[in-house]
Chains A and B, each alone.
Chain A
Amino acid sequence: MESVLALRGLVLLRDSVEWEGRSLLKALIKKAALGGEQVHILGCEVSEEEFRAGFDSSINSRLVYYDLFRDPLNWAQTGEALPGGPLGALQAMCERTDPGPVTVALDSLSWLLLRLPCAALCQALCAMSRQHACRGGGPAAGQLCVLGLLHRELHGPGPMGALSSLAQTEVTLSGTAGQASAHILCRRPRQRPTLETLWFSVLPDLSLDLQGGPPLESQPHPDPHTPQVDPASHLTFNLHLSKREREAKDSLTLPFQFSSEKQQALLRPGPGPATSRIFYEPDAFDDLDPEDPDGDLDV
C-alpha cells in the first residue's frame, strides 16, 4: 500500500458530488509536507483560509499558496490578482519551484479545464515537469508530483482522456455504506498498469486511515436525527395479533398443504361420506322418460 502512496508525476484525483476528493488531496499534501517536500498549491475553488483549515501551523508554514479564488479574472482591478490569469498563475508556479522533491496541488484541475483550452492546460502540465527536470533536481520522474483534483461529472470523454494519457496515476473516488474507496490505476514505464482498490477515511487531523477491505456491515446505520416512525400507528385496521390469535394461525392447516396425514386419508377410502347425492323433485311440467331422456327436445 505504501508503494502506491509514493505517487510521482501527474496524479489525477477524480471525485464526484457524493464522494468529494478535497480532503484526500489535503491528506496527501500533509503527507508530502511531513516528508520534507516543498508544497505549492494553486487554490481556485475555495478560499485560502478554508483550504488551510485542518493543517497544523508547522505544515501551514511549509505551504506556498497561490490564491486564484479571490479575484481570478481581475474584475476588482485592485492589482492584487495573479498576473496572466489562470494560465499565467500556472506558469508562475513552474518557475518558482526549487530543485528537489516538490508536490504541486491543483485545486482544481476542473476549474482550470473549464476556463482554459484543454491543449494549453496539457502543455502547461508537461512543461511543468520538463522545467523542473531542467533545473537540475534529478530525473524528472522522481522529483515532481502534481496532484490534480478533477470533478468527473464536469468533463466529456475528450478532455478526460487527454488528461488520463498524461497521468501516471489515476485515483477514482467512490464508496459504499458510508465508507470511501479509492480505485488506483498506476501506469509505470515499461510495466503493465496496476489497479488496486483501497478503503480509506480521512481523519479530522488530515491523516489517512487505510482499511483492509470493504466494510463488513452492508446495512446503512439508521440516522439518529430521523425520528423512528412507527408505520402501524394511526391505522384504521389492526396489524397486530394477540398470542391466542397467533397460535390459532400457526396451527391452521392450509387447504393445499400436502402432509402425511392428508396422504393417508386420500389413499384410504374412509368411512366418511364419500359419495354425494342429488335430490330432485320433478314439477308438473317435466316429462321424464327414463329410456329417452332427451325426448322432450324437438331435434
Chain B
Amino acid sequence: MFPELNNLLNTTPDRAEQGKLTLLCDANTDGSFLVHHFLSFYLKANCKVCFVALIQSFSHYNIVGQKLGVSLTVARECGQLVFLEGLKSSVDVFFRAQAEPHPLQFLREANAENLQPLYEFVREALKPVDDGEAAWRCPVLLVDDLSVLLSLGMGAVAVLDFIHYCRATVCWERKGNIVALVHDSGDTEDEENNILLNGLSHQSHLILRAEGLATGFCRDVHGQLRILWRTPSQPTTQRDRSLTYQYKIQDKSVSFFAKGMSPAVL
C-alpha cells in the first residue's frame, strides 16, 4: 500500500471503514496501481479478501505485492486470500463438464443473461467461518476489472446486477467492503461502459479517478488523481468533498503532490 495515498484518504489499515463501495476509475492512463494499493491495504488490515483478477496473472500481482510488503502466496495458503485467476480458469471452463458450475460460466454460454455463478463464487469465498471466533476482520471483494466483463459479452445491467448482489451480501449483510476498477474510455458512444461507470458512481462511497494529464505524457508527473467522497444516503452539513492531486509512480511507492507542485518543476 502507498502511505501517501493513505494520508490523502485519511485512513490506515487499523481504521479501515466497513460497508463501503470504492470505485476506481482510470481515463487515458493505467489505474492498476490503485488496485495494488487496495489489495495490499486490505491484506495488511487483516481482512479476508476475495480477488476476482481477470486482467493479470497471479504471479504479476504477487510480484507487485511483494514490493508493497505483502505475499499473496502466503495469504492464499493461510486462507486469507481467495484468488480467482481469470486468465487461467477461463480455459478450465471449456474442459469441465457442463453441469458443473463455474464462476466464469458465461464464457461458455451463447446467451448468458447474468453473472449469478460469479456472485455465488464470491458469496462462498467470503462466507464467515463457523468456528465461533472471527479469524479475519471483515470480508473484502476486489475486482480487476469490471470493464473486461463488458468486452466478454455481458451487458452493463448484468454487471450492475452482479455488483448489486455483491453489495447486498458483502457490504450490507457481512459489513465488508468492495473495491472495483472500471475503465473510462472517454468514448461517449460506448453507452454500455458509461452506464456501468455512472451506475456504480451513484452507489459508491468513494471514487478515485486516475486521469492522464491533459497536456500529454510527462516523465515526472504520470497523471492526476481525483478523489470524491460521497454519502449516498445521508445528508452532510459539508457537501461531498473532492480533492485533486498529481502523482508519480516509482518502483515501490507513489508520490502525490498538489497540482503544479511536482518537485521536478520547482
Please list the residues of chain A having a beta carbon within 8 angstroms of any beta carbon in chain B. 17-18, 20, 22-23, 26-27, 45-47, 49-51, 53-54, 69-73, 75, 110, 114-115, 151, 153-154, 156, 175, 178-180, 201-204, 206, 223, 225-226, 229, 231, 234-235
Contact = CB atoms under 8 A, between A and B. Distances in A.
Given A114-B157, A151-B198, A53 B241 contact: no
B239 A22 contact: no
Interface string B224-266: 0000101111110111111100000000000000100100001
Contact of B266 (A154, A156, A235): A235
Contacts of A231: 261, 266
Give the interface SS of chain A, mostly helix, strand, loop or mixed: loop
Contact of A18 (B114, B119, B195, B240): B240
Interface in B175-215: 191, 194-195, 198-199, 201-203, 207
A-B pairs, top 3 by smallest CB distance, nearest first, are A202-B235, A23-B235, A153-B198
B234 A114 contact: no
A110 B164 CA distance: 14
Given A75-B165, A114-B157, A234-B266, A54 B234 contact: yes
A45 B163 CA distance: 11
B161 interface: yes
B232 A22 contact: yes
B258 A229 contact: yes
Given A18-B242, A72-B161, A231-B261, 15 more contacts: A17-B198, A17-B228, A20-B231, A20-B232, A22-B233, A46-B233, A50-B172, A54-B233, A71-B168, A73-B114, A73-B165, A75-B114, A110-B202, A180-B239, A203-B235
Nearest to A225: B10
Interface residues of B, number: 37
A27 B207 CA distance: 25
19 contacts: A17-B198, A20-B240, A23-B233, A47-B172, A51-B233, A54-B233, A70-B168, A72-B161, A73-B165, A114-B160, A151-B202, A153-B194, A153-B198, A175-B239, A179-B239, A180-B239, A204-B237, A223-B243, A231-B266
B168 A114 contact: no
A50 B164 contact: no
Contacts of B114: 73, 75
B116 A229 contact: no
Contacts of A73: 114, 161, 165
Contacts of B10: 225
A46 B266 contact: no
A226 B161 contact: no
A54 B160 CA distance: 27
Contacts of A226: 243
B63 to A, nearest CB: 34
Given A115-B157, A223-B243, A20 B202 contact: yes
